[in-house]
Each structure stands twice: as structure tokens, then as C-alpha cells.
Amino acid sequence: MRTKIKILIFPFTVVILFILLSQTITVSSKKPFETNREYIIIGMPENPIYENLPSGKIDLSRINYEGYGINTVVRPMFGQSSVYQAEEPGTWDRRFPGYGYMESETGRDTLDVWKGETVKARCCIKSRGDREGFIVKGLYENCEQVNIPDETLYEELNTISEYRSDIKYHKYNSRWYIKPRIRIDSLYALYHPSDTVATIIIKRFDGEIIDSIFLKCLHFLEEDGCSTQLSYDGGYIEKYEEITPYGMFDTALSVKSRYLLEGRGNNSVWRSRVDFAIYWNGKVDMFLDYVKVEDNWANMFLNQKQEEEIFSNCDVWKFSTRLKSEIKNRQPDSRILEIEGLGYNNLRCVNEIIKKIDEYSGGKIKIFIKTDAEGLVINGGLRNGPDKSYILAHNK
């Protein structure tokens, strides 16, 4: 088993469509839909003024659609972001979305109240006799990162294969970022900075372990203002810091997309054994809210302010900067854009595009996205799906 120290990055972003991904329902069948397609419109409020908007289908072979750049507006919509809940392990094969784990060796579920926030979490407490072990493992919906292994040979090909792919452009260092949202005892962290809180175990398609990363108490600490004093308030974080003699640096816990795909070959995607398991090392009390997994596009688009993006050497896409440049001088406009190929874990990025177009235009431009409800589940590589009436009902 290869070990190395890395750290995590970036905050939570809210999904506007349907319900929050933390909410679930029981489903009666793993067959998600009937054969007749139903289309939904993402982001549209219930307002009569939007009833007769012009609409049209995006053609990804064109440079732009109705003056909207395909690279600028459409590409970032295909960023992938999923949030896998830690609580109620063993139940996620009966829910939609099945965003959770099927096994746990230690800990218990709890309603954790911290600074006005109530979190349904899974916790491990030493004084209650909890022993070290996997607090969560056996991710149920584990096909999203390996369901579309296509790669493109040209960086600006602008095809649906490139946008949906889990690899993207073949020379691009496509990665998945793993972000467990955790809080620990603040005093313990300050006095035992070298102790390991948890170990993140990453498994590829065939179940082989490809990485194990130690998350230590020191990764929860941050410098207090201009002084060298270290502090941590005991709150939930998913952005972890590396403290060095040269300052503090964010190092994202990530894995190359290609590594997760190893072992798939010609196997059906439903045989995936991909896992992002969390092992509690038994030293400090720990509360785990969820494990978020995002690809490069979502990681950059959802978690960077536009001002930060300008100076980032790591972000070659600069989605928000390009979008703002295109939108700020456009005339007022409202329309529906139909886009095929979107998956369920694209929804955060889709809603972020809608929100940012509204923000950058000062409310003058309203864009709503029309897509195939069945495709959201099938394209996303989900094992479970709701019936069609559920999707349509939660698009209000």
C-alpha cells in the first residue's frame, strides 16, 4: 500500500434543482424510467413571464449558439460534483440518489449541532468505546467516475464525448478531488498536531487500492492572521492546509482519472468497485458529514471566486473569467437552451452557470436549461433512479 500525505480543498455549493442531494426517497425499482422521454427545464421559476421564451437545441459542432460561446457557457456545465452522505450506511441501495455508503465498522449516526448548524453526521467517540476502523466504506453509487472513459485527441474538439468524458482531452491531467467534510476536537488538534485523524483509502474500478492518504491534526490548523499562532475552532472543514516554513499551502487530495479506470477493460460499468473509504485511526473524536467528489471542471468552477481565478496558474480553463467577459456587455435576453447528455452530477455546475449569468449581467440575462430527465440518471451512471413523476415533481 502506497502512502503519502496530501490535503483537501474547497467548500460546499448548493444545488437548486429538485431537492438538496442530502434528501432522499425510497424507490421501488432500479429501472429508472419508462421509455417515453420527458424534458425538464432547470432553473426556471414559476412565473408567467417565462412561459413563452424562445428556445433551441445546442449544436456542439458550432462555435456558438445564438451568440453564446459553446466553450464559455456549455463546457463548464459538464463539470461533475457528487456528495456522498456518511450517515445511515447500508440503506443507500434503496434510495434516490443512492449517494452514500453500504458499510461501517465503527461509530454511530448523530445530529451534531455546531455554531447554529445542525448536521446529520456519523461520529467516532473514544470515550464511548468506539474502536478504530472504517467509519464508511463500500460506496454505493460508484459508477459516476468511470462510466464514460472516452477521451478526445484534440483540445478544442467541442464534442459531447469530450464534455461528458471522465478523462476529457487526452493530454490534460484530468483528476478527481476527494473532499471529506470533517470536524474534530480543537484542543486535541492543537496539542497533538502529528496524530493521524483518518486515512482516506481510494480504490479503482476493480477494487484494487491505488492510494491511501493520512489526514493529520495539523491539517486542520491555520495561522491566526499575521501572527504565527495556530488555531482551529473545531468546526467542519473540507479545505485543509499544509503548514510549511514558507507559509501555508492548499494541497488538494486527488487522484488521476485514468487510475480509477484501471481494471475496467471491457467490463460493464455496473461491476465498478470504486471506493473513497474513510478509516478512523482511533486517536481523536471525529464527526464526518459527507465525502464530496468533483472533477477538475467542477473543482475549479464551483470553488473559486472569479477574482482568484485570474491569478491561478493551475486553472487553465478560467470558466468564470471567460463567462463574465462574454456576458457583461450583452443586451438583455431570456431564453431556454436545450442540452443533451447532461448527467445528475452535472446539476451543481448547471445551476452555477444560471446563477452566474444572472449575476454578471446584473439580472438582465436569464438562461434556463432544458434537458432529458431520463438522461440525467442514465448519463450520470447511477444505479438507482426515481420514477419519472418524481423527477418532474421536484423541478418546481
CA 379, CA 147: separation in Å to the nearest integer?
Answer: 8
Helical pair 319-327 and 347-360, crossing angle rounded to 10 deg: 40
Mean pLDDT of 173-186: 93
CA 59, CA 180: separation in Å to the nearest integer?
Answer: 37
327-345: pLDDT as tens digits: 887 888 888 888 888 999 9
Considering only 64-73, 256-265, 367-376, which range has the smallest mean pLDDT?
A: 64-73
Mean pLDDT of 368-375: 85
pLDDT > 90 in the chain, percent: 44
Cell of 310: 485570474
Residues ≥6 apart with Cβ < 8 Å to 136:
86, 89, 101, 103, 104, 122, 277, 278, 288, 291
Peptide bond into 97 cis (omega under 30): yes
Nearest CA to 377 out of 341, 349, 325 is that of 341
Find the helix or strand (DSSP H, E) in which 287 lies: strand 286-295
CA 152, CA 148: separation in Å to the nearest integer?
Answer: 12
Q: Which residue ranges make up each domain of the chain?
A: 3-393
Other CB atoms within 10 Å distance of the CB of residue 252: 19
Q: Three-state DSSP class for 376?
A: helix
Residue 99 confidence class, pLDDT cut points 50, 70, 90: very high
CA 252, CA 223: separation in Å to the nearest integer?
Answer: 18
275-313: pLDDT as tens digits: 999 999 999 999 999 999 999 899 989 987 766 665 556
Q: Chain-wide mean pLDDT for the chain?
A: 79
Considering only 38-42, 229-233, 333-337, which range has the smallest mean pLDDT?
A: 38-42
Over 70: is that where the pLDDT of 92 sits?
yes
pLDDT at site 240:
80
pLDDT at site 392:
56
Residues ≥6 apart with Cβ < 8 Å to 264:
146, 149, 205, 206, 272
Over 60: is that where the pLDDT of 243 sits?
no
Mean pLDDT of 339-359: 91
CA 384, CA 375: separation in Å to the nearest integer?
Answer: 13
Point out which residues pair with 213 in neighbouring strands.
4, 200
Q: Three-state DSSP class for 151?
A: strand
Q: What would the 3-class secondary structure string for 325-361 be? A: HHHCCCCCEEEEEECCCCCHHHHHHHHHHHHHHHHHC
Burial class of residue 272 (count of CB atoms within 10 Å of its CB; 0-12, 13-18, 19+): buried
